[in-house]
Amino acid sequence: MAKTPDPAPRTPETGTAYDAIVVGAGFAGLYALYALRRLGFTARAFEAGGGVGGTWYWNRYPGARCDIDSLQYSYSFSEELDQEWTWTERYAPQPEIMAYANHVADRFDLRRHIRLDTRVVSATFDEAEARWTVETDRGDRVTGRFFILGVGCLSAANRPPFPGMDDFKGPIYHTGEWPQDGVDFTGLRVGVIGTGSSAIQSIPIIARQAKALTVFQRTPNYSVPAWNAPLDPEYVRAVKSDYPALRAKARARPTGFYFPFNAASALSAGPEERERQYEEFWARGGLPFLGAYGDLLFDRQANDTIAEFARAKIRAAVEDPATAALLSPDNVFGCKRLCVDTGYFETYNNPHVSLVDVSKAPIERFTAEGIVVAGRLHPLDAVVCATGFAAMTGSFDKIRIVGRGGTTLKEKWQAGPRTYLGLTVAGFPNMFIIAGPGSPSVLASMIQSIEQHVDWIADCMAHMRDVGARTIDARVEDEDRWVEHVSEVAQVSLRSTCSSWYVGANIPGRPRVFMPYIGGFPVYVQRCNEVMDAGYEGFVLDSARPGNAPPKVRLTERWHVPLDVEVISPAMLAARRVPVV
Ligand code: FAD
Ligand code: NAP
């Protein structure tokens, strides 16, 4: 795999006692630093990468860009920031999102709290001191009353150990650890393994450079055109003239971002009307295509109609019927994370692009010359592993996190992640997770999820300071109930039915558990508010004064808005699986 240069030497930091230690300087870590400082807490953040931005620092592959409109895939905590930053495209490319993250770090003077090129390797809770001791791979050893994990859900690259990889004479890249200076594929025979979002974004661009491109596909994916384009300045001005209104509409949506949504059932319309509706939503492009009908992710028959529409689009785009058939998924539409593309399917019409099915005969091995499948060598000069991530828990697994009684988080999560509200883990006091398993995280616009979590955490810490509490720990019974609830809600959705990274099925040997909370962002926020307003219901606070007294609402004020029941899916309501209505 391509190597990054060694970082400049520095003196390790030892012995400093902070209020909080933050892991990661992606959008989660950055906002955590801002929020904690606003409430008067000291913090140190460690970031394994050589810069801020997290996902957008690491994923520099050709074509990387967001697939939620940039005007919404951005922080909402500062009206000034919203006004001064101008996105240039509907879906900003990676360099622009990186520039934004760097702007935020400078604009809010966050860099001085961050140590880059530094990986946290262990964190241990000291019961007597009620503090976390955190150690890094650069020799740092510091303590924090609180330990906050902003390590990312899609930050631990999945590198399948194909036999013979070391023998391959060319470079092997992973999309999630792309070389900082980019890669030029001009004149090369390139192999791409995988057909998820990263592959689907990068394949059309790599195809333009490469002499020959071979794509190794295990499972075909649905993809909707992005119709990406420069943003019309008039439209941007209109949004900025009332940005809070757009943010409020976004917060009220199950996905945490706003797009036109039709709650009616796909089965209530006749075939012609449905076709018109799908065409209209297809023309809007991207993830909002799923807004065409309200039951697409809940009713298999309804889903079949959109799946067939999407397959017909593949057949129309791909000239060779055999290739089109191979590229056509037969699983539930939107079950795996929906992809958003620019010219992906059309790329296969190029004579120098070929598709190799590895669903039945998997990749056998690498040789010096290329990749062997079903006994046939595919000669290659470079390979791109677009093989995704050890999603949701992979970056937690890499840190030795030791809670009460010497239990490690890895042990506790052996059969799948267990959290209370996705924010905390029983037995790991004063430890908070930002947008991790058990919260809407990857099923919502993630910056919204991050901000809501951080605000809740910061308010909780401030409350503990108000009441003189040393520790907060979730009760096991409440954690169990939440885990059960996350799992039962998942059953209502068709999303739980396929082998996706949401359930850990992309990597052999991982427990099959639906990890994100699928009950919808506003419902989840309401539950977090209720828990907080009831004096941190479900938690034990160790304090001299009554800890579970009504807390003061500080940063969470903007999330304390009435729940709009209209936006909750009728299927969720009918199943009576929504906890707060
Ligand atoms: P990350 O951005 O992953 O940052 C976590 C950071 O923690 C990383 O920089 C990592 O180096 C660091 N870290 C981890 N472990 C350690 C350790 N032990 N020590 C020190 N540092 C550590 N979401 C959307 O909502 N919309 C999108 O359009 C979208 N597009 C995406 C495109 C790609 C290619 C990918 C991979 C993800 C995308 N996502 C998208 C999800 C994206 O991850 C989130 O939107 C968001 O950027 C997550 O921010 P974060 O800070 O939580 O995590
Ligand atoms: P991914 O969706 O997990 O896709 C990985 C691909 O590699 C899949 O096609 C998978 O096949 C294949 N694969 C894995 N191991 C393999 C093996 N041993 N042999 C052959 N094929 C193998 O990962 P990703 O594309 O990096 O995307 C991850 C997530 O990041 C997305 O779902 C999305 O949330 C986010 N993302 C967003 C964007 C965006 O548009 N903004 C772009 C990139 C990523 P199987 O399906 O059979 O497992």
**CB within 8 Å of 190: residues ≥ 6 apart:** 206, 210, 212, 213, 214, 380, 381, 382, 383, 384
Identify the band that residue 579 occupies on the pLDDT scale cut at 50, 70 and 90. very low
Rounded to the nearest whole angstrom, what is the distance from the C-alpha of residue 362 to the centroid of ligand 1?
29
Residue 224 near residue 337 (C-beta atoms within 8 A): no
Q: Residue 581: what pLDDT?
A: 34
- Residue with the bigger pLDDT between 562 and 23: it is 23
580 has a pLDDT exceeding 50: no
Q: Residue 51: what pLDDT?
A: 98
Query: Closest Cα to atom 35, ligand 1: which residue?
Result: 55
Tokens 């870590």, located at residue:
29
Rounded to the nearest whole angstrom, what is the distance from the C-alpha of residue 153 to the centroid of ligand 2?
13
**Long-range Cβ pairs for the range 553-558 (8 Å, 24+):** 553/459, 554/39, 554/458, 554/459, 554/462, 555/35, 555/38, 555/39, 555/454, 555/455, 555/458, 555/459, 556/452, 556/455, 556/456, 556/459, 556/528, 556/529, 556/532, 558/455
| Tokens read off for 507 | 């990597």
Burial code (b: 16+ CB inside 10 Å, e: under 16) for 283-292 equals: ebbbbbbbbb
Helix (H, G, I), strand (E, B) or coil at 499: coil
What does 20-35 look like in DSSP terms, one character per residue? Answer: EEEE--SHHHHHHHHH
Q: Residue 225: what pLDDT?
A: 98
| Ligand 1 atom at minimal distance to the Cα of residue 61 | 34
Average pLDDT of the segment spanning 207-217: 98
Q: Report the relative pairing of strands 120-126 and 131-136 from DSSP bridges.
A: antiparallel
Q: Residue 568: what pLDDT?
A: 67
Query: Closest Cα to atom 18, ligand 1: which residue?
Result: 120
Average pLDDT of the segment spanning 558-564: 82
**Best mutation site among 218, 344, 373, 383 for ligand 2, i.e. most ligand atoms within 8 A of its Cβ?**
218
Q: Residue 562: what pLDDT?
A: 75
Helix%, strand%, coil% for the chain, nearest 5: 35, 20, 45
Question: Which stretches does DSSP call E strand in 264-375?
Answer: 339-341, 353-357, 363-366, 370-373
CB of 337 closer than 6 angstroms to any ligand 2 atom: yes
Identify the band that residue 5 occupies on the pLDDT scale cut at 50, 70 and 90. low
Query: Closest Cα to atom 31, ligand 2: which residue?
Result: 197
CB of 501 closer than 6 angstroms to any ligand 2 atom: yes
Digit-coded pLDDT (tens) for 195-211 = 999 999 999 999 999 99
Rounded to the nearest whole angstrom, what is the distance from the C-alpha of residue 321 to the centroid of ligand 1?
38
Rounded to the nearest whole angstrom, what is the distance from the C-alpha of residue 427 to the centroid of ligand 1?
26
H or E element that contains 379: strand 376-379
Radius of gyration of the chain, Cα coordinates, nearest whole angstrom: 24
Cα separation, 65 vs 549, in Å, equals 45
Indicate which ligand has the atom closest to the C-alpha of 198: 2
Cα separation, 80 vs 84, in Å, equals 6
CB of 155 closer than 6 angstroms to any ligand 1 atom: yes
| Ligand 1 atom at minimal distance to the Cα of residue 435 | 52
Q: Residue 577: what pLDDT?
A: 54
**Best mutation site among 55, 121, 337 for ligand 1, i.e. most ligand atoms within 8 A of its Cβ?**
55
CB of 97 closer than 6 angstroms to any ligand 2 atom: no
Cα separation, 230 vs 233, in Å, equals 9
**Best mutation site among 214, 330, 337, 342 for ligand 2, i.e. most ligand atoms within 8 A of its Cβ?**
337
**CB within 8 Å of 447: residues ≥ 6 apart:** 27, 73, 74, 75, 76
Rounded to the nearest whole angstrom, what is the distance from the C-alpha of residue 530 to the centroid of ligand 2?
36
CB of 392 closer than 6 angstroms to any ligand 2 atom: no
Rounded to the nearest whole angstrom, what is the distance from the C-alpha of residue 140 to the centroid of ligand 2?
34
CB of 441 closer than 6 angstroms to any ligand 2 atom: no
Indicate which ligand has the atom closest to the C-alpha of 454: 1
Tokens 């029941």, located at residue:
565
Q: Residue 263: what pLDDT?
A: 87
Query: Closest Cα to atom 35, ligand 2: which residue?
Result: 197
| Ligand 2 atom at minimal distance to the Cα of residue 385 | 7
Query: Closest Cα to atom 12, ligand 1: which residue?
Result: 24
Rounded to the nearest whole angstrom, what is the distance from the C-alpha of residue 299 to the centroid of ligand 1?
31
433 has a pLDDT exceeding 90: yes
Q: Residue 550: what pLDDT?
A: 83
Rounded to the nearest whole angstrom, what is the distance from the C-alpha of residue 155 to the centroid of ligand 1?
6
Average pLDDT of the segment spanning 58-85: 98
Rounded to the nearest whole angstrom, what is the distance from the C-alpha of residue 338 to the centroid of ligand 2?
11
pTM over 0.95: yes
Q: Residue 216: what pLDDT?
A: 98
348 has a pLDDT exceeding 80: yes
Average pLDDT over the chain, rounded to whole? 94
Average pLDDT of the segment spanning 83-94: 98
CB of 383 closer than 6 angstroms to any ligand 2 atom: no
Digit-coded pLDDT (tens) for 369-420 = 999 999 999 999 999 999 999 999 999 999 999 999 999 999 999 999 999 9
Digit-coded pLDDT (tens) for 151-184 = 999 999 999 999 999 999 999 999 999 999 999 9
Tokens 């992973």, located at residue:
174
Q: Report the relative pairing of strands 131-136 and 141-149 from DSSP bridges.
A: antiparallel
Backbone angles phi, psi at 429, to 5 degrees: -65, 150
